[in-house]
Structure 1
Amino acid sequence: MEWLALVPFIVVIIMAIFSKQVIPSLFLGVLSAGYLAELHWLDGLTATLRFVVESLSDPNNLKIIIFLYMFSALVTLMKISGGIKGFVKTASTRVTSKKSAFALTWLSALGTFSAPSFRIVTIAPVMRAMRKKVNMSKQELGFLIETTASPLIVLIPVATAFVGYMTSVIELSIHQAGVSGDAYRLFLQSIPYNFFAFSMVAIGIYLGLFHRAKKLPNVGEEDDNSSEDDWVDCHPAVGKDLPERPIYLIVPLFSIIFFTFFFMYVLGLGSGTSGLEVFLEANVLDAMVLGLLITAIGLMLFMLKHLKLGVMLKAFVEGGNEMMEVIVLLTLVWALSVGSEALQFAEVISSGLAWIPPSFVASLLFIVGCGLSYFIGSSWGTWGILMPVGVSLAQVSGMDLAFVIGAVFASGTFGAFASPLSDDTNTTAGILDLNPIQYSKFKLKPALLAAGVAAVLFFVAPFIFSI
C-alpha cells in the first residue's frame, strides 16, 4: 500500500482546484497524512499536530516567519508615515509620456522589488493618475506593471519576501528526498531556468517600448473626464488622510538593500573565503532578517518627530498581523512536507514514477503546475505542493536538479500572473478600477504565449544543452 503516500498531495490538489481555497486544502492534506501515519482517531490527530509543531521548530522556518512579519509591519509604517503616498505624488509629476511611464516602472523596481503586492501598491496609483498622458488603456497599464511584479521578483536572488520561502521549500524537498546540496545555491542555479518569468518580462518590455496603444473597452472604468487626482483613496496606502513624505519610503527601501548585503558580507567573512565568494557562503536568510530589523528600528526612531511611539507600535503589530494568512499557509506547506516524509513519499515517487523519460520531467511538471497555480491562484501554494514531487522525480530520473526546480518555480509564477484568484491580479484590478475576471482574461493570452515558449524550452533544453 505504498501508494497511500501520494494521497495527501492528491487530496490537496483536488480540493484546491474545486474549492479554490489553498489553506483549507493544505490542512486536509496534512490531516490525511496524520491519519495515514497513525490509523487511530486520536493518534491521527496527534500525528497531525506533531507535523505542524516540527515544521515550526525548524530555525530557518521561524526566521522566514519573522522576516515576513517584520516586512509587512515595515510596509505599514511606510504607509502611515506617508511614504507610499508621497512617492506616488512625487512620481506622478515625472511621467509625461508612455516611455517615461515605462522608464519609471522599471526604475522603481530597484527599490520596490521586495514583494509583488508592495510593488503594485507603490507604482499602480502613479500609472492610474497618469493614464491619459501615457495613452494606454487600464488593462495595458496593469499588464505592464505586473510583468515587473512576480515575473521579475522571482528572478531576484536577495532581499525579497520570496527568497526565504523559495529556499525553504527546496531545503525541505531535498532533505525529504535524501539529496545533498545547499538550498540557496540550488535556488541561484535554478533562476536561469525560470523560462516563463523571462518570457513574461520580455513581453512586458515589448509592450512598453514598441506596442502602439489602442483604445480597448475597460470594464468598470470611470468616465474619461475624471480628475487625474482620482488615485487618492484607490488603496488604503494612499488614503486622503495620510501625509505625503516620500523619504519614508525611499530611505527604508535602500536601507534594507544596503544592510542585507552588508550582513551577507560580514557573515560570509566567517567562512574564511574572500572576494565575491563571501556573499555565496553567507547565510542569506540571517542577513535579510538582520537588515530588516535594523531598518525597522531606524525608521521608527526617525518617525518619532511625526508620530508617537505607541501609534507606531500599534501599526507595527497590525501590519505584521496582515501576514498571518501567509504564515498559516507556509506552516501547512511545511507540515505537509514533514508528513509526506513520514509516509516515505520520496521512495514511492522513486519506485512508482521511474518510467517517466527524463526529458519529459521538467516540461510535465511545468504544465501540471501551470494548471494547478491557475486554479488556486497561489504561486507559494503551488511551489509547496509540487517541489517535493519535482525533486524526487529529478533524483530518480537523473535530470539536473536546478533545471527541475526552475520548472516548478516557473509554473507557480504563471498562476501568480495569470490567475483571476491571485493577489497580484486582484490588487492591480482594485487600484486601477477594473473587473478582475475581465482583466485576467486580458492577461491570459500573452501569459499562455509565454507559457507555451517556456514549455517548449523545458522540453528541448535537455537535448540541446545535455542538462
Structure 2
Amino acid sequence: MDNSWVSLLPFLVVIPIAILSRQVLPGLFAGLLLGCYLKQPDLFGGIQTLISYIADNLVKPNNIRMIIFLYVFAGLISLTQMTGGIKGFVDLVGRKVKTKRAAMLLIWLSTLGTFNNPNFRIVTIAPIMKILKKRLPMSSQKIGFAIDVTSNPVVVLVPIATAFVGYMVSLTGTALQKVGINDSSYSIYLKSIPFNFFSLIIIAIGIYYSFFKDFANDTEDPDGRNLNDQKEEELKKCLQAYEKDTPSKPCNLLLPLSVVLLMTLFLSWWDEHSQASGFIDAFVKADPLNVMLEALFITLMLAIFFYLVQRFSIAKLVTHFVKGGNELVSVILMLTLVWALSAVSEDLGFSNYIAAHLIGWIPAAFIAPVVFLLGCVLSYFIGSSWGTWGLLMPLAVTLAHQTGSDITLVIGAVFASGTFGAFASPLSDNTVTLCTILDVPLMEYAHFKLRPSFIAAGISTILFGIASLFLG
C-alpha cells in the first residue's frame, strides 16, 4: 500500500469536508481517521492506530512546547484584559485624537504594541475607534479596513513575540523533516518572509486607502446609519475590558508586552551567543520556540507579581488565566490533528507517490503560483490561515523539494495564501470579530474589501511567477 495512490486519500477527504462544513477540524479528523484505517484496516485497529498517532505526535518535545506556548500566551492576554490593561490603553490614547488623519495614524501606530495576535489587536484598537467615530466623520468600513490590514497581514511578517511564530516554524520544520531537509526551520522561515507577497502588497494598499483615498460617504456607514446617536454604553458590552468593575491601568498591558518582547530579543541572543560568530548568527542559531517559552514564563511570573502588588485576587488571576488559555483549545486540537495527519500520510507513502507520479504535471516555475492560488481558494472557503497552512504546507514543500523549486519561495506562497483567506473571507474570525465590534454588516464589509484583496492576490501571483523564473 505504501507509495500507492491511496496515500492521497486523506488529503482528498480533508479539503472538501473542510470547505463543505466551513470548519477545519471535521476535515482533519476525517482525513486522519481514513489514513489510520488505511494503515490498519480492521474495526478496532484503525481506532487504535489513530490514538497511537495522536499520542506519539503530542509527546514530541517541540509539539508539546508549542501547545504550552499557545495556552500560556492566551492566558497572559486574558490577565491583561481582566486587570484593566486594555481599558487603560483605550483611555490613554482615545483622548488625544482630534482629526481623521490622526485617527488613521493611531490605527497604524498602535500596531507597534498589539502585533502579538490579530484578534488581540482587533479587540484592543476597534473599541477605541468606535468611540472616536462618535465625534469624527469617518466610515466604519474605512476604519475596519485599516484595522484589518494591520492585523493578520502584519502579524505574519513579525518573526518574534507573536502567537503565530511558533506555529509557523513548527509547520515548516515538520514539512522539511518529511522530505529529509534538516536545516534550521526558523532560519528557512525567516528567509520565506520576504516572499509573503500578499501581506506586503495588501499593507501597501492599506496605506493608500487610509491616507490617500477619499470616501464619498465618509460621514456615515454604507447602509445610511449614522452611529453618532448610539450610546457609548453599547460599546462597553463588546468586551470584558469595559466591565464596570474593570480598572483603567494601561501599564497592566504595556508592561507585559514590553517584557515579553525585550526578553525574547535578549534570550534569542543570549542562548547561543557563546557559540555564535556574531550577533545575527546568534539569532539564527537560537531555538525560537524555546526562547519564546522562556520569555513568556518570565513575563507571566513578573506580571502575576505585579498584579498581586496591585491587590488583585490570586483566585481571580488563576480563573482568568485558565479561561484565556481555554479559548485556544480549538487551535490546539487543530494542531494535534495536523501533526498526526502529516505523520500517517507520510507513512502511507505520500511524498514518494508525489515524487513518482504528480511532479511532472506541474513545471517547477509554476509550483509557487499554483500553490498560492490553491491556498487562496482553500483559505477563502474555510476562513482560516492556520488551517490553510496546516493543510497545504506538507504538499507544497514536497512539491518544491521534488521539482527543485526554491523551498523558501514556496513556503512564502503557503503563508501568503493563508493570509489572503484570513483577510478576505467573511468566515474569518478576524472579520467576524471586527464587524461585531464596529457594528458593520458582515457581508457588506466582506464585499467592500474583496476588490483590494483580489488586486493584491493578482499582483502576488505574477510576482510568484517572476520569482520562480529567477530563483529556479
TM over 0.5: yes
Quote the offset at 1:460 in angstroms: 2.0
Amino acid at match of 2:180: G
- Say if 2:422 is the partner of 1:416: yes
CA contact (8 A) 2:375 2:388 kept: yes
Superposed CA deviations along residues 418-454 of structure 1, whole A, max 9, x for unmatched, are 1111111011011101222222111111111111111
Deviations 1:309-349 (A, max 9, x none): 11111111111111111111111111111111111211111
Compute the displacement of 1:462 (Å): 2.1
Q: In terms of mean alpha carbon deviation, does 326-335 or 217-226 score higher?
A: 217-226
Q: Is the 2:134–2:227 contact (alpha carbons within 8 Å) kept by the matching residues of 1?
A: no
Task: Give, in whole Å, the separation in 1 of the partners of 2:165 and 2:204.
Answer: 22
What is aligned with 2:349?
Answer: 344
**Aligned counterpart, 2:169:** 167
Matching residue of 2:443:
437
Q: How far did residue 214 of structure 1 move?
A: 2.5
Equivalent residue number for residue 280 of structure 2? 276
Match of 2:315 in 1: 310
Structure 1 residues 38-437: aligned runs within 5 Å: 38-215=40-217, 217-219=221-223, 223-227=227-231, 230-304=234-308, 305-355=310-360, 356-437=362-443
Contact 1:333 1:385 in 2 (8 A): yes
CA distance in structure 2 between the partners assigned to 1:11 and 1:323 by the alignment: 25
Query: What displacement does 1:270 show?
Result: 4.4
The CA deviation at 1:222 is: 6.1
| Contact 2:406/2:471 (8 A) holds in 1 | no
Q: Residue type of the partner of 2:326?
A: N
With structure 2 as the length reference, what TM-score do the two structures score? 0.96
Matched to 1:18, the amino acid is L
Q: Structure 1 residues 119, 13: closer, same or farther in 2, change over 3 A? A: same
Kept in 2, the 8 Å contact 1:167–1:184? The answer is yes
Q: 1:220 to 1:273 in 2, by over 3 A?
A: farther
Q: Given residue 124 of structure 1, which amino acid in structure 2 is its aligned partner?
A: A
Structure-1 separation of matches of 2:221 and 2:88: 31
The Cα shift of 1:226 comes to 2.5
| Aligned residues: CA RMSD | 1.6
1:218 and 1:240 map into 2 onto residues whose CA distance is: 32
Rounded to whole Å, the distance in 2 between the matches of 1:276 and 1:177 is 28
- Whole-Å separation in 2 of the counterparts to 1:113 and 1:424: 14
How big is each residue's C-alpha offset from its partner over 1:38-88, in whole Å with a ceiling of 9 and x where there is no partner?
Answer: 111211111111111122011111111111101110111001101001111
SS of equivalent residue, structure 2 residue 110 = helix
Deviation at 1:134, TM superposition (A): 4.4
Distance 1:332 1:10 in 2: 16
Query: SS state of the match for residue 178, structure 2?
Result: helix
Report if aligned partners of 1:379, 1:412 keep a CA contact under 8 Å in 2: yes
| SS of structure 2 residue aligned to 1:269 | coil
Q: Output the CA distance in 2 between the equivalents of 1:24 and 1:220.
A: 40
Contact 1:30 1:339 in 2 (8 A): yes
| Segment drifting more, 376-385 vs 219-228 | 219-228
Tell me the CA shift for residue 165 of structure 1: 0.4
Distance 2:313 2:226 in 1: 39
1:133 to partner: Cα distance? 4.5
Unaligned ranges ≥5, structure 2: none
Shift of 1:193: 0.5
Q: Tell me how far apart the structure 1 counterparts of residues 471 and 114 of structure 2 sit (CA, whole Å).
A: 37
* Deviation string, structure 1 residues 344-389 (Cα, Å, up to 9, x no partner): 2111111122211011111111111001001001101100110001
Maintained 8 Å contact 1:137/1:214 = no
Distance 2:111 2:103 in 1: 13
> CA shift at 1:98, angstroms?
2.2
Q: Name the amino acid aligned to 1:128.
A: K
Distance 1:95 1:147 in 2: 20
Deviation at 1:120, TM superposition (A): 0.7
Letter in structure 1 aligned against 2:321 = F
Residue identity opposite 1:4 in structure 2: V
Give the counterpart letter for 2:149 in structure 1. T
Letter matched to residue 106 of structure 1:
W
Alignment CA distance shift 1:353-1:220 (3 Å):
farther
Contact 1:265 1:282 in 2 (8 A): yes
Deviates more, 1:277-286 or 1:142-151: 277-286
| Shift, 1:240, TM fit | 3.2
The question of whether the paired residues in 2 share the 8 Å contact of 1:79 and 1:238 is answered with no
- Residue 451 (str. 1) matches residue 457 (str. 2): yes
Q: TM-score, normalised by structure 1?
A: 0.97
Does structure 2 conserve the Cα–Cα contact (< 8 Å) formed by 1:220 and 1:434?
no
Instruction: Note the C-alpha offset of 1:230.
Output: 4.8
Q: Counterpart of 1:273 in structure 2: which amino acid?
A: S
Deviation sequence 1:123-160 (CA, Å, 0-9, x none): 11111111245432111111100101000110111111
Amino acid at match of 1:46: Q
Shift of residue 227, structure 1, vs aligned partner: 4.3
Which runs of 5 or more residues in structure 1 are unaligned?
none
Aligned partners of 1:253, 1:390: CA distance in 2, in Å?
34
Q: Is the 8 A contact 2:87 2:248 kept in 1?
A: yes
State the alpha-carbon separation in 2 of the partners of residues 195 and 181 from structure 1: 24
Measured in 2, the distance between the counterparts of 1:199 and 1:303 equals: 41
- SS for the counterpart of 1:276 is helix
Identity of aligned residues (%): 44
